[in-house]
Chains A and B, each alone.
Chain A
């Protein structure tokens, strides 16, 4: 959701979920471009959806990973006020998802693996975004990513804000940084609904089970990438190196697979999600 920049909240008693949400939104936390410049060489950014505009909340292009070309697509936040506005606080609009899809199709055409970095409070909820089909853009991205005949690897590096994050997250392997979160709703919005008080976000964060460890336990991600003690903001290089190592392992495992097995692998991964939590005798 929008205007939820980290705000000083009441001192929560030990609540690891909420502490991680705050780290995920830490003003000094590395953003996608901080990782891109450390992990890839010769990154060439490509702009525009060829239909309406270039969305600066999503960065897309090609670069080299271990000397081999890959596509990189990332949600990007700004650091100072001017950059935050330029990046729309990391909240993509439909043209962002359509640009991402355009670059993913290019990657598929030229047999390049795709790496995505997820970091958004959510897709932008505004009049213009609705007019241009925010829902349609995300929906198409979900379906089309499932069809890609190249390896796709996603890393949640900060905020995994609902459908807006998932819109770039239909991957063969999905990882989360230790202090990232991934949730169906922001803790603030959840608190506003269930406690009628967005100040209860800390409680909601715990109830939502949104930490990397939670998602691993629910069978929704492949692994947690450790951060330096105290959080990624304390050591950009070490965090980037940890991500790089994970990506290398994932790409090594996926590269030998042919197109059909990659699609099937990705399909099966999402096909079973949530099925652990079904009973056959309700009703």
Chain B
């Protein structure tokens, strides 16, 4: 489980996209864990999971939704919402420019797709986060999209799935981002009272304010194998305690062992797991 500490020279992706896919040639992918060279077509058929070591490659929000919904079909909600840069934040470049560049690169308005469709015929709302959009970070847009999805689930009595892949709250929106934790958690209180099931699916990575709010508030909390899941990031913890972290710390399996996950579910089993769970919890 040493993937997380592994440095990865020669990665083509920009640093803050955090993809572990090492590209060699167009038709091949190299597994970031076992170094196996895999036909891209084989990888696709295996839902982007290494056939040799079962390492789960990171996948984008569209791929995720296509894997979960029947026939890969879904409708999107609140897809026009955009951030207006409340802080007028500037770091190495203005946040407004960063947002514009990200929108062009991902063809998404922000770091989440809110979708509805059917899974084995049952209507389900799924929110999927896009890690490539500023590290999947949560600002006012994601906060509002998720809150509306929760409210939609409560109103229509349609179960909810949130697939997390995020470094946490979005620094560039400051305390406005922070308050989205409270806003979403309060909406989940209402969904809880409405007794409509919500399953949180944590994927690599899920950290910070996302974990400290809706990701840990599922009626069921589940995760893909080998995902990094935690409140504080490993580097922050290492700097604080000034020692190396134990092997396997903050992985899905670690959280399962410590009682914070209901199950670790392989990507190939995820859809069936969700459908069975909703069947057992609802109607």
Contacts and interface: CB of A to CB of B under 8 A. Distances in A.
Interface of A: 1-3, 123, 125-127, 129-136, 138-140, 142-144, 146-147, 162-163, 166-167, 169-170, 182-185, 189-190, 193-195, 207-210, 214-215, 218, 220, 266-267, 270-271, 273-283
Contacts of B81: 278-280, 282
22 contacts: A123-B212, A123-B231, A126-B240, A126-B241, A133-B260, A140-B217, A142-B185, A142-B186, A143-B185, A143-B217, A163-B178, A184-B177, A190-B171, A194-B92, A194-B171, A210-B175, A214-B174, A267-B189, A273-B143, A273-B176, A274-B176, A277-B140
Given A190-B171, A208-B87, A279-B84, A271 B231 contact: no
A277 B83 contact: yes
Contact of B182 (A130, A170, A182, A207): A170
Name the 7 nearest CB pairs between A and B, nearest first.
A282-B82, A125-B232, A274-B140, A283-B109, A146-B186, A194-B91, A142-B185
A91 B252 CA distance: 25
Given A271-B183, A271-B186, A280-B80, 11 more contacts: A135-B215, A170-B186, A184-B178, A209-B87, A273-B183, A277-B140, A279-B81, A279-B83, A282-B141, A283-B108, A283-B109
Contacts, number: 216
- Interface core residue of B171, B232, B258 (most chain A CB under 10 Å): B232
Contacts of B141: 278, 282
Nearest to A128: B241
A1 B187 CA distance: 28
Nearest to A190: B171
Contacts of A280: 80-82
A270 B183 contact: yes
Nearest to A282: B82
A37 to B, nearest CB: 29
Interface in B75-114: 79-87, 89-92, 103, 108-110
Contacts of A270: 179, 182-183, 186
B57 interface: no
A277 B84 CA distance: 5
A274 B183 contact: yes
A44 to B, nearest CB: 29
Contact of A140 (B139, B178, B216): B216
Interface residues of B, number: 69
Contact of A184 (B110, B169, B216, B239): B169
B180 interface: yes
B213 interface: yes
Contacts of A133: 216, 258-260
B190 interface: yes
A273 B236 CA distance: 28
B216 A136 contact: yes
A130 B91 contact: no
B173 A277 contact: yes
Given A127-B249, A130-B250, A278-B83, A195 B91 contact: yes
B221 to A, nearest CB: 8
A32 B246 CA distance: 36
Nearest to A163: B212
B232 to A, nearest CB: 3
B260 A136 contact: yes
A277 B88 CA distance: 11
A275 B183 CA distance: 11
Interface string B238-272: 01110001100110000000111000000000000
B54 interface: no
Contacts of A220: 175-176, 179
B171 A185 contact: yes
A274 B231 contact: no
A207 B230 CA distance: 27
Contacts of B82: 278-283
B241 A127 contact: yes
B48 interface: no
B183 to A, nearest CB: 5
B45 to A, nearest CB: 31
A127 B176 contact: no
Nearest to A194: B91
A139 B208 CA distance: 11
Contacts of A195: 91
Contact of B230 (A135, A140, A193, A215): A135
A210 B211 CA distance: 23
Nearest to A122: B232
